[in-house]
Structure 1
Amino acid sequence: MTVRVGWSAAVLVAGAVQLAAGWAGALAVLVFVAAVAVTYAIVLGAGVLRVPAGITVLVVLTVSVVGAHYVAPAAGPLDAVLDSVPRLLTAPRPAPATPELLVPGVLLVVAVALVSALTVAARALVVPAAGGAVLYVAAALLTAGQADPHGFGALALLAVIAVGWVVVDRPAALSAALVVGLAAFAVVATLLPARAPFEPRTLVTPPVTDLPVASPLPQLASWAARGDTELFRVRGPATPTRLVALADYTGATWRASSLYSPLGTVAPPRLPDGARRTETQVEVTIGDLAVPWLPTTGRPATTSVSAAVVDPDSGSMVLPSWPRKGFTYTVSSTVDAPEDADLLAAGVPDAAAARRYLALPGLPYSLAEYARRTVADARTPFEKAVAIEEVVRAGRTPEADAPVGSSYARLETFLFGAPGSPGAGEGTAEQFASAYAVLARAVGLPTRLVVGFRPVPPGAGGVAVVRASDATAWPEVYFAGWGWVPFDPVSGTDDGPGSASRRAVINRLATPTPTPSTPDTTGPPLPAPPTPEPAAAAAGSAARPWYLLVAGVPVLVVAVLGMLRAGRRLRLRRAGATGAWAYVLDSLLLAGRSPARHRPAPEIAADLAIPGAVGVAALADRAAFAPSPVPSGGTAWPLARQVRAELRRRVPWYRRVFWAVDPRVLWRR
């Protein structure tokens, strides 16, 4: 018995370790293993104290549901359980090991361990194996097949199952056949390619948060005035830090998206990521930043902040409750990193796909004509982008005290203003980046603005202190197949994607700065695509009723168990009187009164003191041991049904509820 219990627990632990791959860190492994151990201890302890199995199940499930409610508060305990799965499926991947996100995993482990522990005493060795398989399949679904990409976890689980079947108490021939079958299955499963895995996150519509957050672009001037103020600290590689990407331009200002959804949703951005990407991981500690956005080094992939939400299009990450001073988190981000040769021949997406990043409502003729003359000699989209960068930078001076603003009027003054007039030829990073983005859009280059911070070399302990003076803004251009590429019209770009190609393009073009002259306000405005609606964070696959799947699984299980029980009754009925007595023994098992196997049928029947029990036992004895077959099945079965009805009447109500589908009789030998 002890060996069997230890083996079944080991099978579930192997499955639980696989399931823990859906959460970041080792905490999930410890929690799931503890859940298996505690559930087994409760069930076995209840068996020693002779507590009815129904009471044990009720207590374990009640404690689990109430605990889920207190860990992840909801309207009610049942809501805490029902909401746990959608909450997990809309969390980052792997999910942070926070209490509210661990709830669904713990509940699944407890349920599987409860069934396994209740049946292991009945020598039902298939149940622990099925439980381990359930946990393994759940891990594969949660991680879209990434929990065990090479199949090693499956092989380990099958090895533990096979050892138990061989060592515990399976016949050698059957064990050998099972082991060979499992090994063949494992080899085939390992060699088969895993393409387009099922993604359960498509079954859940991610919640959308509407945050009326203002653009931080005007705050650049305020940060410049407080240059020595520490905004945050970064532990990680020295790289530009991004705060927010601004895609929507109204002709007066740049606007941040107001629709955000949890990180980890499957909705792709409107313009897909590039083919070459790099990944960085940093630890950030907030100082006097005082904005809802969380600094990242690119498009967030995973983060330790479970409450963070992101703009699905740009990946800008926001904490709705606003991060306080001293708030620390980690974030892994990806950044497009094309090579020089990629950009030289790169194109841009069609206008319909990039409409949001080309919108210029009411563009003045002066800016449109200036952009056209700037790229007159450029042959490719990349050459156009480089030419605009050089023209915006040439002859203009960065000035922290320059007038703020990104409107067409402010950009015309910045580009064409008469010398000596406020803001003419002078601007902050806001004017340089905005002028670049508007001119690039005017010639068909999809652009957006990024508010962020310059890279700061790490100091003591590998920590870089980012101050207010490091705040800046830069434009990015999207190239089809290669993603977003940053440009620096303030000082030029000497490193980063395409730096060598930019120098070659500059040398070839030797683009003279177009003569600005006085803006022509009489010319016709350049037709511009209509302003698109803000991107919806829940773009992607249509929502499917996941709750029907959750509700359908128990119904399917009950239906299968009912059919198996009906099949067993049919087989016993065909066996005549001996089958009728086996039917009585099944009823005794369900009633919790299983007799010892060495006792004869008449003796067991006499102890029952139920009318008909002695009769069916005598008929079964005659059928089993008489010199010639005795056709007594027709008489024995009415008596057996009479005994069954009386036994069912005597058991508590909670045993009667599951009487017709209780699976324990299926494994009675």
Structure 2
Amino acid sequence: MKLLWSALVLLVAALHFGRAWDGMLVLFGLCVLLGFVAVLLKQKMPAGLAVLTMLILGFTGGFFAARDAVPGRTDPTQVLLDTVPRLLTAARPAPATPELLTPGLLLVFGVSVVVSVSVARKGNSLFAPAVGAAVLYMSGALLTAGRIDPHGLVALLLLGLLAGGWLLLERRGPVAPPVGVVLACLALLAVVLPSVDAFEPRKLVRPPVTDVEIANPLPQLASWAAMGDTELFRTRGPEVPLRLATLSDYTGASWEAASTYGPLGVVAPPDLPVGNRLDETSVDVQIGALSGEWVPAVGRPRAVSLSDAMVDPNSGSLVLADGVRTGLRYTVRGALETPSDEELAVASVPADPSVRRYLALPRLPFSLAEYARQIVVNAQTPYEKAVAIEQVVRLDRRPDAEAPVGSSYARLETFLFGTNGDAGAQAGTAEQFASAYAVLARAVGLPSRVVVGFQPVPADASGDRVVRAADATAWPEVYFTGWGWVPFDPVSGNGSGPSAASKREVLNRLASTTAKPPTTQASLPPLALPSVAPPVAAPVVASGFKPLWFLAVLLVPLLLWGLRFGRRLRLRFGGAPGAWSYVLDVLLLAGRSPSVHQTAPDVARGLGSAAARLAVLADRAAFAPDPAPVADAWSLARETRKVVRRTVPWYRKVFWSLDPRPLWRR
């Protein structure tokens, strides 16, 4: 009954702890049940060895589960230790991947093993399940900064289970008063702690930040357009735009993506605050022919089921350092900024230094600056400027998948001002439409950037949304104070973002918004970029896994226990002398080895009546001419062992069954 109650208490605590991961509660429940298998193992070997064996098996399984996901690590200890900072720097809830599940499952398994063996021993109190449940509950609270039990309801449930078990199963009277005091203190903590500011353990771990060399995906729009109906990936979920990459830095020659990425959920906050109106959604993605490092995501990612996905904190772009592969499946949850038309109509744009990178236009040609000024000459608000630029960029220009690629000043001047006969004049891919918009917006003080992604795709009969190569596009975004990044669509004007009615109302107020290219076009000369020698890769030293010492840690304890078990069997069948020799082994382990000159009765003084009787029987068997066999000699030796162990400090009991000294005692 005690074991069932202990398993129930730990099961509740483990399932609560398992909520720190994404959808894997059943594994934590199985770990509790597996930990109680140690009770069966205890029937065949000493309790300490049963615990040690189960823990070694658990850590071995954890190593083999996590080693493939921890590159560059071959040492078992390093692999297991590396999973802890990975978990602390993962998203919340943590993705259910092997290397992130390993530390949590090992903790649950270890606590269950120790508690089960402790409760199964006769005479032990029921404080062990309370300690184990407290360890799991506090670990879950620390891992999530208290978010999984904000009102303390699970803590109160655990207290109720503990109180019921102690009152029904613990029959010893002196235990009741301390139990009442402990329960009262824990109940007070369960009520008070949720109101206290949570401690954030992630402050103790510096999140890994990775520099990733990633190509700009804008020029690839033309090749995707040529691929036509090739399936890049498919999704299941709401009809929302999917982002592939967000490009915030413009050099005058091209757009550049961020190169520094960190784990999702622990990187620094973005340089510009998120909007006040957010709509959170989740989609499932299955990769088809899409290649590269970029991972399709929705809005600003909050969680993703890929443990090795890294994020740019400012743009929310997700990347995989090893690249996406065909058949990859994952779930991504993100927040979309969805301000209303009325809110945008009166919104402003920030003017502080935090938006400097989103206004940067190195050596902007006069032609583009003057063109932008003409577009917004009648606009009164930032939103009216944004709508006017969208209208003018789209006016009298056509999408052309075969147009020359590029987003330099020179290419944009040809796109905007070119005449018939010029390659790419008045025609371009989504790259030129989005880039022209972003450059013109920056020229009039609107913080802007370019996004490469996929507009909403309708679902087929099976519920999947098949995203094909021809669906790839790019669009610009403008940042409005308090409402975040708002997308515009200079290609068709019908993309996500402000409604068509709102834009039409603005254009009606502005009458006919047009702009003419200035008579003097000062094109930017080619940029002279310094040549940088490619970095020389350090030689890779192949290091195979050498598990010799690891196997020794696993096998040596089992070998020592086997030798000690064989000696114990031999002494058990040796009659009274063998039983007395076992008592001498026990005294050696307890640090009370007698002098070689003492007789057996002298040694037995102070060890109880069983030791005194066994000493007499051992002397008689050794010196009598024809000693009769004694049936109860071994039971007397075991009673003596119990008496001796009561006086032994705990640190001697830890390795009691593995101490090799009795093996060479004569």
Aligning the two structures, in what range does the TM-score lie when normalised by the shorter sequence?
Answer: 0.7 to 0.9
Q: Please name the residue that 1:7 is paired with.
A: 5
Kindly state the Cα deviation for residue 405 of structure 1 after the two structures are TM-superposed.
Answer: 0.8
Kindly state the Cα deviation for residue 422 of structure 1 after the two structures are TM-superposed.
Answer: 2.2
Q: Please name the residue that 2:145 is paired with.
A: 144
**1:87 is matched by which residue type in structure 2?**
R
Q: Which moved more, 1:144-153 or 1:447-456?
A: 144-153
- Within the candidate set 14, 19, 27, 2:17 is matched to 19
The answer to whether the 8 A contact 2:374-2:516 is kept is no
**2:470 is matched by which residue type in structure 1?**
S
SS at match of 2:216: coil
Kindly state the Cα deviation for residue 246 of structure 1 after the two structures are TM-superposed.
Answer: 0.8
Q: Please name the residue that 2:112 is paired with.
A: 113
Distance 1:265 1:494, change over 3 A: closer
Confirm whether residue 213 of structure 1 aligns to residue 214 of structure 2: yes
The Cα offsets for residues 627-649 of structure 1, whole Å up to 9 and x where unpaired, read as xxxxxxxxxxxxxxxx9999679
The Cα offsets for residues 84-109 of structure 1, whole Å up to 9 and x where unpaired, read as 11111222321222222111112211
Q: Take 2:351 and 2:505, find their aligned partners in 1: how far apart are those partners?
A: 27
Q: Take 2:101 and 2:133, find their aligned partners in 1: how far apart are those partners?
A: 18
Q: Please name the residue that 2:63 is paired with.
A: 69
The answer to whether the 8 A contact 2:488-2:495 is kept is no
Kindly state the Cα deviation for residue 342 of structure 1 after the two structures are TM-superposed.
Answer: 2.1
Q: How does 1:3-402 map to 2 (within 5 A)?
A: 3-25=1-23, 27=24, 29-42=25-38, 44-49=39-44, 51-73=45-67, 74-120=73-119, 121=121, 122-169=123-170, 175=176, 178=179, 182=183, 186=187, 189-190=190-191, 194=195, 196-402=197-403
Kindly state the Cα deviation for residue 651 of structure 1 after the two structures are TM-superposed.
Answer: 6.0
The answer to whether the 8 A contact 2:150-2:194 is kept is no
Q: Take 2:496 and 2:260, find their aligned partners in 1: how far apart are those partners?
A: 34
Distance 1:419 1:45, change over 3 A: same
The answer to whether the 8 A contact 1:591-1:647 is kept is yes
The answer to whether the 8 A contact 1:220-1:472 is kept is yes
**2:42 is matched by which residue type in structure 1?**
G
Kindly state the Cα deviation for residue 435 of structure 1 after the two structures are TM-superposed.
Answer: 0.6
Distance 1:340 1:421, change over 3 A: same
Distance 1:415 1:653, change over 3 A: closer
**1:299 is matched by which residue type in structure 2?**
R
**1:52 is matched by which residue type in structure 2?**
P
**1:472 is matched by which residue type in structure 2?**
T
Q: Take 1:193 and 1:94, find their aligned partners in 2: how far apart are those partners?
A: 19
Q: Take 1:105 and 1:492, find their aligned partners in 2: how far apart are those partners?
A: 50
Q: Please name the residue that 2:473 is paired with.
A: 472
Q: Which moved more, 1:395-404 or 1:463-472?
A: 395-404
Q: Take 1:173 and 1:144, find their aligned partners in 2: how far apart are those partners?
A: 37
The answer to whether the 8 A contact 2:89-2:266 is kept is yes
Q: Which moved more, 1:374-383 or 1:458-467?
A: 374-383
SS at match of 2:30: helix
The answer to whether the 8 A contact 1:226-1:468 is kept is yes
Scaled by the length of structure 1, the TM-score of the pair is: 0.75
Q: Take 2:252 and 2:98, find their aligned partners in 1: how far apart are those partners?
A: 46
Distance 1:183 1:148, change over 3 A: same
Kindly state the Cα deviation for residue 149 of structure 1 after the two structures are TM-superposed.
Answer: 3.0
SS at match of 2:362: coil
Q: Please name the residue that 1:575 is paired with.
A: none
Q: Take 1:362 and 1:390, find their aligned partners in 2: how far apart are those partners?
A: 25
Q: Please name the residue that 1:411 is paired with.
A: 412
Q: Take 1:649 and 1:168, find their aligned partners in 2: how far apart are those partners?
A: 26
SS at match of 2:485: strand
The Cα offsets for residues 556-589 of structure 1, whole Å up to 9 and x where unpaired, read as xxxxxxxxxxxxxxxxxxxxxxxxxxxxxxx99x
Aligned residue pairs, count: 550
Kindly state the Cα deviation for residue 185 of structure 1 after the two structures are TM-superposed.
Answer: 5.4
**2:40 is matched by which residue type in structure 1?**
G
Q: Take 1:113 and 1:446, find their aligned partners in 2: how far apart are those partners?
A: 55
Q: Please name the residue that 1:573 is paired with.
A: none
Q: Take 1:399 and 1:61, find their aligned partners in 2: how far apart are those partners?
A: 64
Q: Take 1:247 and 1:192, find their aligned partners in 2: how far apart are those partners?
A: 43
Q: Take 1:141 and 1:608, find their aligned partners in 2: how far apart are those partners?
A: 52
Distance 1:465 1:648, change over 3 A: closer
**2:301 is matched by which residue type in structure 1?**
P
The answer to whether the 8 A contact 2:363-2:524 is kept is no
The answer to whether the 8 A contact 1:453-1:470 is kept is yes
Kindly state the Cα deviation for residue 196 of structure 1 after the two structures are TM-superposed.
Answer: 4.7
Kindly state the Cα deviation for residue 183 of structure 1 after the two structures are TM-superposed.
Answer: 6.5
SS at match of 2:280: strand
Q: Take 2:651 and 2:90, find their aligned partners in 1: how far apart are those partners?
A: 49
Kindly state the Cα deviation for residue 172 of structure 1 after the two structures are TM-superposed.
Answer: 7.3
The answer to whether the 8 A contact 1:414-1:427 is kept is yes
SS at match of 2:273: coil
Q: Please name the residue that 1:547 is paired with.
A: none
The Cα offsets for residues 420-456 of structure 1, whole Å up to 9 and x where unpaired, read as 4222222211111001101111222111111111211
Q: Please name the residue that 2:519 is paired with.
A: 518
Distance 1:333 1:119, change over 3 A: same
The answer to whether the 8 A contact 2:370-2:518 is kept is no
SS at match of 1:313: coil
The answer to whether the 8 A contact 1:343-1:498 is kept is no
**Long gaps (5+) in structure 1:** 525-586, 594-600, 611-642, 659-669
The answer to whether the 8 A contact 1:351-1:358 is kept is no
**1:512 is matched by which residue type in structure 2?**
T
SS at match of 1:461: coil
Q: Take 1:88 and 1:365, find their aligned partners in 2: how far apart are those partners?
A: 52
Q: Take 2:420 and 2:645, find their aligned partners in 1: how far apart are those partners?
A: 104
Supply the RMSD in Å over aligned alpha carbons.
Answer: 3.3
**1:47 is matched by which residue type in structure 2?**
K
The Cα offsets for residues 635-666 of structure 1, whole Å up to 9 and x where unpaired, read as xxxxxxxx9999679967835999xxxxxxxx
Q: Take 1:240 and 1:82, find their aligned partners in 2: how far apart are those partners?
A: 39
SS at match of 2:19: helix
Distance 1:187 1:460, change over 3 A: farther
Distance 1:127 1:511, change over 3 A: farther
Q: Take 1:31 and 1:330, find their aligned partners in 2: how far apart are those partners?
A: 20
SS at match of 1:517: coil
Q: Which moved more, 1:474-483 or 1:94-103?
A: 94-103
The answer to whether the 8 A contact 1:68-1:77 is kept is no
SS at match of 1:451: strand
Distance 1:644 1:491, change over 3 A: closer
SS at match of 1:354: helix
Q: Take 2:503 and 2:650, find their aligned partners in 1: how far apart are those partners?
A: 87
Q: Percent identity?
A: 55
SS at match of 1:33: helix
The Cα offsets for residues 182-241 of structure 1, whole Å up to 9 and x where unpaired, read as 478547745776465322222222222322121111011111122122211121122222
Distance 1:198 1:499, change over 3 A: farther
Distance 1:652 1:279, change over 3 A: closer
**1:654 is matched by which residue type in structure 2?**
F
Q: Take 2:442 and 2:382, find their aligned partners in 1: how far apart are those partners?
A: 11
SS at match of 1:285: strand
The answer to whether the 8 A contact 2:159-2:186 is kept is no
**2:138 is matched by which residue type in structure 1?**
V
Kindly state the Cα deviation for residue 500 of structure 1 after the two structures are TM-superposed.
Answer: 4.4
The answer to whether the 8 A contact 1:235-1:283 is kept is yes
